[in-house]
Structure 1
Amino acid sequence: MADKDGILEAKNYGIGIEQNSDGFYVKGAGHYSWGMKSRLSKVFNPVSGKSLMLAFDHGYFLGPTSGLERLDLNIPPLAEYIDCFMGTRGGMTTCINPTLTGNKAIALRVTSGSSILDDDLSDEIISVDIAEAIRMNADLMASQVFIGAPNQRKSIENLSKVINTGNTYGVPTMGVVAVGKDMERNAKYFRLATRIIAEVGAQVVKCYYCDDFESVIAACPVPIVIAGGKKIPEAEALEMCYNAISMGAAGVDMGRNIFQSEDPSAMVQAVRAIVHEGIDHKEALDMFNALKAKK
């Protein structure tokens, strides 16, 4: 069923089966090239089919975010528990020892151009080209997309250019759904935004969790990982992760709810257990508290 705006309603619309004809486990990736599949298999754990990404790219428009004042001290201790670093070119090259990334995927943010001083955050450019992404051994390029914002068309153009060059060299692209201050965060909006990004050709989509998230997952033909968003209490963050994974999310790209936690190491381990071991949020909270108590 579709509503009056032509947007698919959630009713009677189940979660799509993430299965490819050739057996490759990443949703929608059955017909991709060898190199593309190779990189995606680093991003998404072959055993669980999921990914735990650690986002620390906030400084590209927020500056020295609380908890990220020292990238070189705060991020490396969490590396052993994650599947994928998500950072900027400058953050990665100056603060992350490349030996830490040996068996970890790299999601490289390739768009920028705005800051918290701007009234319109949607006016961005492609700031990192494909040659630099390959030099940095990136497994995923992240491009911000502003559906419904003043620079929607420009952000889709940026995404398209990143996808086109990425496809040429076998490097996947993740389209990141950006939500401005005045934009609704509901399933109807996220169904629209994620579907547009997937139809343009992104191999992965990142968006926020919302009510009726099953319909967002079902309507998107590629994997969706959820953004952690602003810092919330640990119990709420773990419940959000559990709900998203239970509803079909292919992973979590969490930043502030890990590095701003009371105990970042305990929190990243609890989130990992939800993503890869299938424990529920109550068990994860017990795990977080037990690990924190040991310190």
Structure 2
Amino acid sequence: MINFARSVRLQHLYRRDSGRLLIVPLDHPISVGPAAHSGHLDRLVGTIADAGADAVVLHKGAVRRLRPHRFRELSLLVHLSASTGLAGDPDAKYLVCGVEEALRLGAHGVSVHVNVGSATEERQIADLAAVADACDRWGLPLLAMVYARGPAVPDPHAPDVVAHAVTIAAELGADLVKTALPSSSGEVTAITAACPIPVIAAGGASADPEETFEQLLSAVHGGAGGVAAGRFVFTADDPGERVRRLSALVHGRPAAVAR
């Protein structure tokens, strides 16, 4: 059962008619250091909002540097997990924020990162379950970012492995799950059909932007519940134009997808 508060927030997230989402994760600085938008985050979020994204993902400190009116037509997902590329095990995600703190910041939802097959999988899955319980208690939607990464995963894009990863998110109470999907539209269809919650395709970052657009379009055609593209957006020469094309792709305006 979805309580009233959670339903209101989900409706704000899904305010467009397509039933899919375009999410722009901007949680990368803790992992990799200053990003291309460093010093201009508020301006970038304004551009992303104006270009038609449905939500952004941010860490708690970043939220405090934004003007509230950016979220009139944009949902805020506060990211609760972190790790750095400097660590001995960068796949070891841990919680750095809680659901109540995210609510105090004005979040419409929260996100948690889990690396299935990593050396610290046990703690990460337990963290996801605990956050899901808190989201139930406070009426907050939960995005689980679940990837197959670590010494126990020879092929993170294998369809059965990806299907297992997204199933974990659904079984533990997430409202939607983001992951790296296979390139085959048919394989994506099998994964999304078996998962009871929307599966959001991770954008990644390719040397060829048109190749990335094709992969994401294939994922949407395969039943993905939308796209989450971060680096693909904020490293672009024109982030607004990239978001407009992604929004067209996700929300079904084919003529606007073409370059």
TM-score normalized by structure 2? 0.90
Q: CA deviation at 1:205?
A: 0.5
Paired position in structure 2 for 1:19: none
Letter of the structure 2 residue corresponding to residue 152 of structure 1 = E
Paired position in structure 1 for 2:210: 235
Paired position in structure 2 for 1:127: 96
Q: CA deviation at 1:179?
A: 4.4
Letter of the structure 2 residue corresponding to residue 262 of structure 1 = D
Instruction: Report if aligned partners of 1:238, 1:285 keep a CA contact under 8 Å in 2.
Output: no
After superposition, the CA RMSD in angstroms is 1.8
Instruction: Report if aligned partners of 1:147, 1:178 keep a CA contact under 8 Å in 2.
Output: yes
Q: CA deviation at 1:270?
A: 0.7
Q: CA deviation at 1:133?
A: 1.2
Paired position in structure 2 for 1:84: 55
Letter of the structure 2 residue corresponding to residue 110 of structure 1 = L
Q: CA deviation at 1:230?
A: 2.2
Whether 1:257 and 2:232 are equivalent positions in the alignment is: yes
Whether 1:56 and 2:29 are equivalent positions in the alignment is: no
Correspondences of 1:36-185 after superposition (within 5 Å) = 36-65=6-35, 67-70=36-39, 71-80=41-50, 81-94=52-65, 96-112=66-82, 114-180=83-149, 183=153, 184=155, 185=157
Paired position in structure 2 for 1:226: 201
Unaligned stretches of 5+ in structure 1? 1-30, 287-295
Q: CA deviation at 1:209?
A: 2.2
Residues 93, 178 of structure 1: alpha-carbon distance in 2 compared, 3 angstrom cutoff:
farther
Farther-moved stretch of structure 1 (195-204 vs 230-239):
230-239
The count of residues paired between Structure 1 and Structure 2 equals 251
Distance 2:219 2:131 in 1: 27
Q: 1:89-147 CA distances to partner (integer Å, 9 max, x unpaired)?
A: 111212x21111123111110112x2111131233322111221111221221111111
Distance 2:235 2:96 in 1: 28
Unaligned stretches of 5+ in structure 2? none
Q: CA deviation at 1:186?
A: 2.1
Instruction: Report if aligned partners of 2:200, 2:228 keep a CA contact under 8 Å in 1.
Output: yes
Paired position in structure 2 for 1:276: 251
Distance 2:195 2:111 in 1: 17
Paired position in structure 2 for 1:190: 162
Letter of the structure 2 residue corresponding to residue 128 of structure 1 = C
Distance 1:223 1:63 in 2: 30
Q: 1:227-283 CA distances to partner (integer Å, 9 max, x unpaired)?
A: 111244221121122111111111111111112123222111111111113417xx6
Paired position in structure 1 for 2:173: 201
Q: CA deviation at 1:46?
A: 4.0
Instruction: Report if aligned partners of 2:117, 2:150 keep a CA contact under 8 Å in 1.
Output: no
Distance 1:174 1:156 in 2: 14
Instruction: Report if aligned partners of 2:148, 2:165 keep a CA contact under 8 Å in 1.
Output: no
Farther-moved stretch of structure 1 (68-77 vs 239-248):
68-77
The percent of aligned pairs where both chains have the same amino acid is 25
Q: Secondary structure at the match of 2:258?
A: helix
Instruction: Report if aligned partners of 2:112, 2:143 keep a CA contact under 8 Å in 1.
Output: yes
Distance 1:275 1:35 in 2: 26
Distance 1:72 1:278 in 2: 28
Q: CA deviation at 1:285?
A: 3.0
Q: 1:157-214 CA distances to partner (integer Å, 9 max, x unpaired)?
A: 1101110011001101111113437642221111010001111111110101213111
TM-score normalized by structure 1? 0.80
Q: CA deviation at 1:223?
A: 0.8
